[in-house]
Amino acid sequence: MVPNRWIPYKDFDGRPNYESRNWLIGKGEIGGKGKGLSFAFDHLQGSDLVEEVKLPSVTYVITTEPFHDFLDDNNLDWIHDEPDLEKIILAFSQGRMRESFLSDLERVLQSLYDTPLAIRSSSLLEDSHLLSFAGKYFTTFAANVFDMEWRRRELSDGIKTVWASLYNHAARAYRAKHGFTDRDEAMAVLVQPLIGRDHEGLYYPELAGTIFSRVYRRPSPRINKEQGVIRFCFGLGTRTVDRSLARVIYLSHPNLRPEGNLAREVVRYSQSSFDYVDLEFGAFVSGDLKSLFPFVMEHHKAATSFIELFGDNILYWAGSKPMIHTTPLFTFGDLPTRYPHFLETAKRISKHFEKEMGIPVDMEFTYETQEKKMTLVQLRPLSSYEEMASVKIPQVPEEKILLKGSRMVSNGIVESTPYLVYVDPFRYGNRDNYFKIARALGKVNDRLKGTRYVLIGPGRWGSVNPDLGVPVDYAELCNCGCMVELGIVEKHFTPELSYGTHFFLDLDVDNILYLPVFAGEKPDIFNREWFDNTPYEKGAEEEIRVYKGNFSVFLNGETEEGIVIEN
């Protein structure tokens, strides 16, 4: 019999690790995250990383069987044809779970009584080597405090929320684009102790984030694509997987900041709040660093390597005498120098699992600086992405260049698309209609399916903070061929210069090109005169314009040059 650890990932059976520890609930499938974590367990054993890298002490896997039972028992087959997510979420919240399943959850709670919980999706299609479904399904947290009745309700509600997330709009659009239906998918759930520490009632890890063993988009040709990239934050890792502010370090050049080294540039991309579980109130909370600065300084010996004080356009050491007009920010300026073990471990684990899996990998982790302790909470294939051969940028008259960028450029072409969709960065934010703009763009996206149109807008597409960019989800831009992010200094819009969010993983898998453009910064070009003087179709919201014509996109990752032109 071939040992499980020598079996290729695509053929790997993750069930035995959970069955042998009595962590399996139900007889169904364990899903993608369950498989990845089991693979990590097998391939840490016997390696030189086994003492340095840990896994959660317990991971219960609720297989797809209880999910199917729940649908059957509550006559929920209609949800496969129901477009209204609110109706689906309500139906799940009101649904009845079997007594036998509730008894299993009681066992889980007895086993994990003294810790907050992470309740993670692990669907059948999630985290395959071809499709990531990254960020499409939910992770919820349970504080796991108060009496047992409260804990039972909190856990069961969390599971129902993860189950219902199978039917959210972004997941449905992603499935449809890749030839799958709702009925092709099913949801398993992982229940784990939330990795972190209790800091006087605030529970969180010191650092958390993601590691990618390859770099597919880089801000400089100096970066070695083979050595990977790490994206992390202080506190719970929720800020690293969406388009929030987090620190990015390219492992081949740890001191190179993609945003630049000027204080105002560093501050623009620095984390100013962090997430934790409040054990007193039993709630997930986002705390402002400015108000919690003394607390963080007291509880973390490494705080002066994480935090700098910004004032008068200068960054000061966090341990210096406090000044009235300074703001503390998580810049992680001294982290690479003072805690090299953190990045060395990231490099080693990245190369180890890429070798073991035979393909590039994507991991989620937590890290405690004083113990030099890294805990791996997720392992999956870095969904397939192949760069095109080097693209030749055509010589065209400058007046034909609508947009030009010079950072984070990969290789790719979109030739002769008939549409540009543009959100005016000088109008965006003037009215309180951020989400109306996003929904209206979704309708344009549906209408232009098959055209590979170019989508242009301010700041960060898909930002969870609408002040940073239009808060679209995947379903509202999935048909575009190239996504352009405009940096407008006077409006405080800045593109995302870091690889590593779920958002970027979708672009890679779907071959959607990405181009950041910084208006007013040479050699970048934003031909505002063309956008202001060329006829266009007005969108449902006045900020949206649809231009019809003949447009092409050319990106060359070696020369770090990308252009959008009018043919």
pLDDT tens-place values along the chain, 567 residues long: 345 666 788 889 999 999 999 999 999 999 999 999 999 999 998 899 998 999 999 999 999 999 999 999 999 999 999 999 999 999 999 999 999 999 999 999 999 998 999 999 999 988 666 666 666 788 899 999 999 999 999 999 999 999 999 999 888 988 888 889 999 999 999 999 999 999 999 999 999 999 999 887 777 778 888 899 998 999 999 877 665 678 989 999 999 887 778 898 888 889 999 999 999 999 999 999 999 999 999 999 999 999 999 998 899 999 887 667 899 999 999 999 999 999 999 999 999 999 999 988 989 999 999 999 999 999 998 865 555 557 889 999 989 999 999 987 878 899 999 999 999 999 999 999 999 999 999 999 999 999 999 999 999 898 888 998 999 988 899 899 999 999 998 888 888 765 545 566 666 667 788 899 999 999 999 999 999 999 999 999 999 999 999 999 999 877 889 999 999
189/248 same-domain check: no
Tokens of 506: 């979708």
188/226 same-domain check: no
Task: Specify the pTM.
Answer: 0.81
- Of the residues 167, 194, 221, which one is the last residue of a structural domain? 194
157/70 same-domain check: yes
Looking at the structure of the chain, the number of domains it has is 3
Question: Does residue 44 contact residue 53 with C-beta atoms inside 8 Å?
Answer: yes
- Of the residues 333, 367, 388, which one is the last residue of a structural domain? 333
In a domain, 505, yes or no: yes
Cis peptide before 397 (omega within 30 of 0): no
Nearest to 187 by CA among 202, 167, 173, 206: 167
Alpha-carbon torsion angle 148, 149, 150, 155, nearest 10: 80
In a domain, 351, yes or no: no
In a domain, 486, yes or no: yes
258/130 same-domain check: no
Label residue 332 left, alpha or beta by phi (over 0 means left) and psi (-120 to 50 means alpha): left
Which pLDDT score, from 0 to 100, does residue 1 have?
A: 39
133/215 same-domain check: no
In a domain, 368, yes or no: no
Q: How far is CA 385 from CA 45, 347, 516, in A?
A: 29, 21, 20
In a domain, 352, yes or no: no
155/227 same-domain check: no
- Of the residues 171, 194, 217, which one is the last residue of a structural domain? 194
Running DSSP on this structure, what letter comes out for residue 387?
P
155/216 same-domain check: no
30/130 same-domain check: yes
Beta strands 561-566 and 544-556, pairing class? antiparallel
Q: What are phi and psi of 190, to 5 degrees?
A: -100, 135
Q: CATH number of the domain that 64 lies in?
A: 3.30.1490.20
**∠ CA 132-136-137 to the nearest 5 degrees?**
110
16/52 same-domain check: yes
Return the residue matching tokens 């030749």.
392
Running DSSP on this structure, what letter comes out for residue 552?
E
490/423 same-domain check: yes
Question: Does residue 279 contact residue 504 with C-beta atoms inside 8 Å?
Answer: no
Tokens of 53: 């890298």
Q: Cα 243 to chain center, whole Å?
A: 7
493/514 same-domain check: yes
Q: Is 470 helix (H, G, I), strand (E, B) or coil?
A: coil
Which pLDDT score, from 0 to 100, does residue 351 have?
A: 95
In a domain, 340, yes or no: no
Return the CA Rg of the chain.
24
209/144 same-domain check: no
Please tell me the distance from the alpha carbon of residue 439 to that of residue 475, in angstroms, as a whole number.
Answer: 10
For 221, the domain range is 202-333
Q: Is 95 helix (H, G, I), strand (E, B) or coil?
A: coil
Long-range own/partner contacts, residues 391-397 (CB < 8 A, 24 or more apart): 391/554, 391/555, 391/556, 392/554, 392/556, 393/554, 393/556, 393/559, 393/561, 393/563, 394/554, 394/565, 396/563, 396/565
Which pLDDT score, from 0 to 100, does residue 186 have?
A: 95
Question: Does residue 181 contact residue 154 with C-beta atoms inside 8 Å?
Answer: no
Please tell me the distance from the alpha carbon of residue 26 to that of residue 185, in angstroms, as a whole number.
Answer: 17
Question: Does residue 38 contact residue 18 with C-beta atoms inside 8 Å?
Answer: yes
Tokens of 564: 């959008």
Running DSSP on this structure, what letter comes out for residue 535?
-
- 3-state SS of the chain: helix, strand, coil percent to 5? 30, 25, 40
Q: In 383-433, which ranges are continuous DSSP H helix?
A: none
In a domain, 385, yes or no: no
In a domain, 393, yes or no: no
Please enumerate in sequence order all residues whose Cβ is within 8 A of that of 69, keeping only pairs 6 or more positions apart, or say none.
98, 101
